[in-house]
Structure 1
Amino acid sequence: MPRLLVCTDSFPPQLNGVSVVTASMVTGLTARGWDCAVLAPAYPPTLCAALSEPPVLRRFSISSRALPSYPAVRLAWPPLRLAHRIIRDFRPDLVHCATEFTVGWAGLRAARAYDVPVVTTHHTDFSRYCDAYGVPFLRPVVQRWLGGFHRRAQLTMAPSTTVERTLRAMHVGHTAVWGGGVDTTHFSPRHFSLLSRHRFAMGADFTFLHVGRLAPEKNVEFVLDAFEHVRVRFRERRLRLIIAGAGPIERRLRQRAGDDVIFLGAVDRVRDLPALYASADGFVTASETETLGLVVLEAMASGLPVVACDAAGVGEHLEHARNGLAFAPGDMNGCVSAMSRLVADASLHERLRVGARASAESLSTDRALDQLDALLHKVMAAAAVSCGPSASPLVMTPAR
């Protein structure tokens, strides 16, 4: 049974795309015969458990503190000693660093000390966040850090070919595209119900949905403005916009939104989110920084037509007029026009529903996890060859 140590700065119950994909990886590989251990921050009981933690026999937690401006984000001191001890005791065949921060950094350092092969994932291009947070001058510094981190791994996985090109530009040579897929059973049109429409205050109104963290880089204010333009166009018809998610700018967004905008906060992914997706009429996002756009794939799997910015990873799965409608980054008129077409054209709406589901079925989680299983075995096999026949996996002493 191969052993995998996952080192991540984000894991359930913390809710974001990285934690969702990483938890899915651990669950899926365990089902495929891997013995998985996880090193991740500890989270307080008060953290909203919108994402349930997968069963992990070996979960190593380290203390963490909330980021002052964003309490849901936890910061941990680099657990280098603990990472060394785990590798000595657990003796993994492979270490996966899912993030580039303190926990991922400690896992990378410890794995290299013991000559354990490392796989990393570049989930988030943090250099692109610099503009959204008002520090564009830091972008080259962040890129150098990210590139230096991933160049130390045997393989770096990218959620999309767009991200893979970014990695190559950072001189990261050993890459593979793997995005994690989408659970097409959990997210499905079969979860539609009139009861859910009533519960989420949709009623008979045409309802747009936005799901995601309420943070500057998600460009939610753009969505609010676009919805207001569409609402004015259709004065004779009731429209709604539902915002599902939480984050540091939630209060500002609530103050800006009109009466037809509903904020749900963090939504339980198991109990509520599938029905929310499947029961809405359209999904809209204006984020320009998504490396994969998991929420877009979840909406598609639910048979929900998507209006999205044709940028970064989202553009690789969004096919204009087939599974959704695309608009260019920053193009308010394009976004308003796409949203208006969904409202006005019932035949287009139905065609996009069918196309969205078909697209998602080709990106199922099961298929993606089979690919990951094979990919990780190839990394281990290549590492075994490079070590040579004299290398003993039982000798766990730091490499000189």
Structure 2
Amino acid sequence: MKGRVVLVTHSTSPRGGMVHTLALAEALHALGHPVHVLTQGDPAVGLFRPTAVPHTVLPAPAKTGTLTDRVFESIDALTAALGAITEPDDVLHAQDCIAARAAARVRDADVPVPVVRTVHHVDDFTTRALITCQREAIIEPDRVLVVSEHWKRILHDHYATEATVVPNGVDPDRFPPVTAARRAALRASIGASSDEGDRFLFLAVGGVEPRKGTHHAFEALGELVRTMRRPPMLAVVGGHSFQDYAPYREAALDALPGLGLALGKDVVLLGTLSEADLGAWYRSADALCFPSVKEGWGLAVLEAMAADLPVLAGDLPVFREYLLDHHDALLPRSGDSAALAASMREMYADTALRRRLVEGGRTTARRFRWSRSAQRHAAIYDEVREAPRGALRQ
């Protein structure tokens, strides 16, 4: 590959898009490809973990005004920064609709470089301006990538866009084992371990928000608390998002008492964690509870598998592409709180099942490595560089 790849995303928050961006950049860097990551956050803090990859963190837009205001302010800032650093042999690889609009602006106005876009999923925007912005961010790039066949079909059917599937990956060494003392201390800190004994601990990753199906997890846990002598508990990691999910979060948390659940006892909010703490929680919980109702891939699933944590997800089409029910994950019907409760109960009760899922998860995780994903990306970058200008979008 000649020239540099500039990977662009709108946030340093350690959610799927940023995790994907940084892991891919590091894998490309390890293969000898020149890369640069451009993102927005707090320049004084930097990225969510140390990296040897060259990167620039721009100040994120202030959390004032409407979501539409912040989206277009973010696009403007990324456009200006990209315009200043982009060189003729670069490829701009955008990881979200904000970054894609900025990259296309630079290509069309300043430096005629190819723009690649990974569509992880399509957001449920409600304003006409943001719906249009998202559509343009899918049809403007020279090459569109997706991480699953499911989203390839959606882009074909709803946006008349042909996408290339390049699956996600996982770093098998990202979350190493923790000591027994560290595990015990973490569990004790939230009441999962006490003089009365251990409580089974489900870990949810992604915060309290609609796409993660959090209220289904709460409703399912409420059923178990009502019917079990020593029921499990749920710890929720994450929560930072460009979109404001405060109304959903408040409603879901306000519903806890009516479900027989106590915040801080049955449900614990861990918030955004450091890289080391996230890995320690993966290694300290008893199972992942990931009842999403929409995912592009679900990176937390691979992360859990790489950390030897048994997985409970759902039967979303994207999960069925690489997971097999009762082999490497439990896949109850998505959006069904009763089905989720039954699977949580099964996970809790069956030690042999959990061991089998861990073994199956290890095998599945070995199929997906960032080094393999980086090699596929590098070949695509060469393809878009060699294509006649404009031919990719015809």
TM-score normalized with structure 2 length: 0.82
With over 3 angstroms needed to count, the CA separation of the structure-2 counterparts of 1:330 and 1:254, relative to structure 1, is closer
What residue number does 1:84 align with?
A: 83
Residue 25 of structure 1 aligns to which amino acid in structure 2? L
Q: Does 1:112 align with 2:108?
A: yes
After superposition, the C-alpha distances for 1:157-184 in whole angstroms (9 at most, x for unaligned) are: 1011111111111344442112331112
Structure 1: which amino acid aligns with 2:200?
F
Q: 1:82 to 1:307 in 2, by over 3 A?
A: closer
Give the aligned partner of residue 199 of structure 1.
186
Q: How does 1:24-35 map to 2 (within 5 A)?
A: 24-35=23-34
Report deviation, 1:340: 0.7
**Cα-Cα RMSD:** 2.9
Q: CA 1:290/1:69 → structure 2, altered by over 3 Å: closer, same or farther?
A: farther
Correspondence list, 1:88-99, <5 A: 90-99=87-96
2: CA distance, partners of 1:217 / 1:382:
37
Please tell me the residue identity of whatever aligns with 1:61: L
1:396 aligns to what? none
Worse-matched range after superposition: 248-257 or 163-172: 248-257
Check if 1:245 corresponds to 2:238. Answer: yes
Report what 1:289 is aligned to: 294
Deviation at 1:38, TM superposition (A): 3.4
Partner of 1:37: 36
3-state DSSP of counterpart to 2:28:
helix
Inter-CA distance 86–172: structure 2 relative to 1 (3 Å threshold): farther
Q: What does 1:1-400 align with in structure 2 at a 5 Å threshold? A: 1-10=2-11, 12=12, 14-43=13-42, 45=44, 51-52=48-49, 54-57=51-54, 59=56, 61=58, 64-66=61-63, 76=74, 78-79=76-77, 80-87=79-86, 90-101=87-98, 103-113=99-109, 114-126=111-123, 129-130=124-125, 135=126, 145-187=133-175, 190-191=177-178, 193=180, 195-201=182-188, 202-203=192-193, 204-235=198-229, 237-247=230-240, 248-249=245-246, 253-255=252-254, 256=256, 257-258=261-262, 259-269=265-275, 271-383=276-388
1:218-256 deviations in whole A, cap 9, x for unaligned?
221211111121233321x35221112234545655552
Number of equivalences: 366
Range 341-350 or range 247-256, more displaced = 247-256
Measured in 1, the distance between the counterparts of 2:60 and 2:182 equals: 42
The one-letter amino acid of 1:86's match is I
- Return closer, same or farther for 1:320/1:168 CA change in 2, 3 Å cut-off: same
SS for the counterpart of 2:387 is helix
Give SS of 1:354's match.
Answer: helix
For structure 2, list consecutive stretches of 5 or more residues without a partner in the other structure.
none
Cα distance, 1:385 vs. partner?
A: 11
Give, as a single letter, the amino acid of the residue that structure 2 aligns with 1:350.
R
Question: Counterpart of 1:322 in 2: which secondary structure?
Answer: coil
User: Where does structure 1 lack aligned partners over 5 or more consecutive residues?
Assistant: 388-400
How much has 1:63 moved relative to structure 2?
A: 5.2
**Displacement of 1:380 after TM fit?**
2.0
1:15-72 deviations in Å (ceiling 9; x for gaps): 2111111111222222222222333324265x7x7822534435262552225699xx
Relative to structure 1, the CA distance from residue 281 to residue 111 in structure 2 (aligned partners, 3 Å threshold; closer, same or farther) is same
Name the SS of the counterpart of 2:319 in structure 1.
helix
For 1:283 and 1:68, how far apart are their aligned partners in 2?
Answer: 36
SS at match of 2:62: strand
Aligned to 1:398: none
**In structure 2, distance between residues paired with 1:3 and 1:174:** 25
TM-score by length of 1: 0.81
Provide the rounded CA distance (Å) in 2 between the counterparts of 1:359 and 1:277.
Answer: 17
Contact 2:167 2:368 in 1 (8 A): no
Taking structure 1 as reference, are residues 277 and 30 closer, same or farther at Cα in structure 2, changes over 3 Å only?
Answer: same
Are the aligned partners of 1:2 and 1:33 in contact in 2 as well (CA < 8 Å)? no
> Is the CA contact (8 Å cut-off) linking 2:6 and 2:35 kept in structure 1?
yes
Query: Secondary structure at the residue paired with 2:32?
Result: coil
Separation in structure 1 between the aligned mates of residue 82 and residue 284 of structure 2, nearest angstrom: 44
Deviations 1:83-105 (A, max 9, x none): 33322xx334311122212x431
Percentage of matched positions with identical amino acids: 25
